[in-house]
Amino acid sequence: MPHPTQHHRLVDVPGGRIHLVEQGEGPLVLLVHGFPESWYSWRHQLPVLAEAGYRAVAIDVRGYGRSSKPRDVDAYRMLELVADNAAVVRALGAETATVVGHDWGAGIAANSALLEPDVFTAVGLLSVPYAPRGGPRPTDAFAMIGGPDEEFYVSYFQEPGRAEAEIEPDVRGWLAGFYAALSADTMPSPSDGPSPHFVPRDGRMSDRFPPHSGLPSWLTEADLDFYAEEFERTGLTGALNRYRNVDRDWEDLAALDGAPITQPSLFIGGDQDASTTWMADAIKAYPQTLPGLVSSHILEGCGHWVQQERAYEVNRLLVEWLGAVHGTA
């Protein structure tokens, strides 16, 4: 059932249209999801932020849900997604916003703050730590992570059509396995075999999903139905095209090499999430890379889907941070 005070809208942006769901009145908070998700990933945050006095807006990122799905792969480069975010703020009649992102949404949020600092005056990052642009070309770096018998999942996602051929025959089943693989209460243990972040050569990512059945505790059958119905309708290509632009982003954002984010910021990660543990050095570098950091939190016993796995804690931390940023704490 739709929430009676939530409103769905389509707004025009230079690249087409963005679907969003908004709730509440007050300072604008733009919520940006990751892969493979939806505006619905913020279902627990929208009413809480609205009750706290904010205009909470969760978007379907370009390529997802009811938002536009351009055919060209390079239409999903970071510059385009940042432009979408800024255009959404303008379409909503606002001049500034706080932007909060999870997973790929964290990267989109971070670059929104870097490229549009007059629009995005504070930034919250969930699950994926901020690391400034730099280092070798991303696909070269990812190629070195794999071995003769397996490849890193980002490399697996690079070839158009390859991951789609695995996922789209059974979208619901694949999503259930993927969500479970990165959730603290259902992720595979080392005794179950290699990490699902690595794909067997000539194999499938789902070969590394948890061998047991059952959904993670945060995901109901109805929640899974929602996600599955969205991707059965749209396909996965738009979502996967984000991964297929990592080299273009590296080239496009060369001027931001090593750039810190100076706006007030927040980080929330899970201690069971590979995104957090693999990037521990990025978190240690926050005094230099996030000089405006207000608070950083690692949630014990939490996996990748932080705002869904630990909605109460994340809501509390978001409201506290927003209160500090807006002087209402």
For residue range 215-224, list pLDDT tens digits in order. 999 999 999 9
Please say if 212 is a catalytic residue: no
Is 304 a catalytic site residue?
yes
* Domain coverage including residue 164: 138-239
Average pLDDT (197-208) is: 91
Tens digits of per-residue pLDDT, 265-324? 999 999 999 999 999 999 999 999 999 999 999 999 999 999 999 999 999 999 999 999
Q: Do 129 and 261 fall within a single domain?
A: yes
> What CATH number corresponds to the domain at position 97?
3.40.50.1820
* 122 plus 24 within the same structural domain: yes
Using a pLDDT cut of 90, give the percent of the chain over it: 89
Among candidates 53, 55, 105, 56, which has minimal Cα distance to 84? 105
**Helix or strand (DSSP H, E) at 283:** helix 280-284
Question: Within a domain: residue 86?
Answer: yes
111 belongs to a structural domain: yes
Q: Which of 19, 60, 84, 103 is catalytic?
A: 103
Among the options 19, 33, 197, 304, which is catalytic?
304
Range with the poorest average pLDDT among 48-57, 64-73, 96-105, 142-151: 142-151
Q: How many domains does the chain fold into?
A: 2
Q: What is the DSSP letter of 248?
A: H
237: CB partners within 8 A, 6+ apart: 63, 69, 160, 161, 164
Q: Are residues 169 and 191 in the same domain?
A: yes
Q: Are residues 14 and 130 in the same domain?
A: yes
**Of 239, 265, 288, which closes a domain?**
239
pLDDT band at 1 (very low <50, low <70, confident <90, very high): very low
Q: 178 lies in a domain?
A: yes
Whether the pLDDT of residue 9 is over 60: the answer is yes
Whether residue 2 is contained in a domain is answered as: no
What confidence score (pLDDT) does residue 212 get? Answer: 77
Which of 239, 268, 296 is the last residue in one of the domains?
239
Kindly state whether residues 192 and 298 are assigned to the same domain. Answer: no
Same domain, 108 and 149: no
* Burial per residue of 160-171, b for 16 or more beta-carbon CB atoms within 10 angstroms, e otherwise: eeebbebbeeeb
Residue 193 pLDDT exceeds 80: no
The overall average pLDDT reported for the chain is 95
Same domain, 316 and 273: yes
CA 185 to mean position of chain CA atoms: 20
Q: What's the angle, vertex CA 261, arms to CA 259 and CA 265, rounded to 5?
A: 160
pLDDT at 327 over 90: no
Report yes or no on 249 lying in a domain: no
260 and 301 in a single domain? The answer is yes
What is the model's pLDDT at position 159?
A: 93
Domain endpoint, select from 207, 239, 271: 239
Looking at the structure, tell me whether residues 115 and 196 fall in a common domain: no
Placement of tokens 């095209």 in the chain:
241
